[in-house]
């Protein structure tokens, strides 16, 4: 039952939306069945990034709640991230550099984990991240 999940599934896992009870139930069963089978659901970095955007824009989830939601997913049996270490570093950056958005934190963290020594950007806030560099 090894599967990767789409953003809409992740959102239903995190948000028990009363307008979509059938979908919420289906996601609970999916996680339970996957865990019971000793398997895991894969969350790609793309799906995570899109999920963050949906939670922030559609559900108005703030920074602290966003961090808590991602941490909860990291700690949920049956859910596996494409690059756990990248996600953990992105969360660290997100929590410690409040002027930056999650996308920039994830990009900078991934660059580091791919061995890059610089994260080059035109975004002044993102340039404040470790190894960030403002391109001029």
pLDDT at 110 over 90: yes
Residue 2 is predicted with a pLDDT of 82
Distance CA 78, CA 36 (A): 8
Average pLDDT over residues 91-119: 97
Q: How much is the mean pLDDT over the chain? A: 94
pLDDT at 17 over 90: no
pLDDT at 29 over 60: yes
Segments making up each domain of the chain, as ranges: 3-82, 99-136
Token pair listed for 5: 């999940």
pLDDT at 1 over 70: no
pTM attached to this predicted model: 0.89
**Burial of 6 per CB tally in 10 Å (0-12, 13-18, 19+):** middle
Return the beta strands (E) in 1-136 as ranges.
3-4, 41-43, 79-81, 119-121, 132-134
Average pLDDT over residues 28-34: 91
Average pLDDT over residues 96-109: 97
Residue 117 is predicted with a pLDDT of 95
pLDDT tens, residue by residue, 52-98:
999 999 999 999 999 999 999 999 888 999 999 999 999 999 999 99
How many Cβ atoms are within 10 Å of 40's Cβ, its own excluded? 18
Residue 95 is predicted with a pLDDT of 96
pLDDT at 118 over 70: yes
Per 3-state DSSP, the chain is made up of helix, strand and coil in percentages (nearest 5) of: 55, 10, 30
Distance CA 50, CA 11 (A): 10
3-class DSSP assignment, residue 115: coil
* Cβ–Cβ under 8 Å, residues 6 and 47: yes
Residue 44 is predicted with a pLDDT of 97
């Amino acid at each position: 039952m090894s599967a990767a999940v789409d953003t809409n599934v992740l959102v239903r896992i995190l948000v028990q939306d009363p307008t979509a009870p059938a979908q919420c139930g289906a996601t609970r069963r999916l996680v339970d069945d996957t865990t019971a089978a000793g398997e895991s659901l894969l969350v790609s970095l793309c799906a995570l990034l899109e999920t963050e955007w949906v939670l922030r824009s559609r559900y108005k989830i703030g920074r602290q709640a966003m961090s808590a939601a991602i941490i909860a997913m990291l700690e949920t049996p049956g859910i596996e991230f494409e690059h756990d270490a990248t996600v953990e570093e992105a969360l660290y950056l997100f929590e410690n550099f409040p002027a930056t958005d999650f996308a920039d934190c994830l990009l900078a963290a991934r660059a580091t984990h791919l061995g890059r020594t610089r994260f080059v950007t035109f975004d002044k806030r993102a340039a404040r991240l470790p190894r960030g560099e403002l391109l001029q």
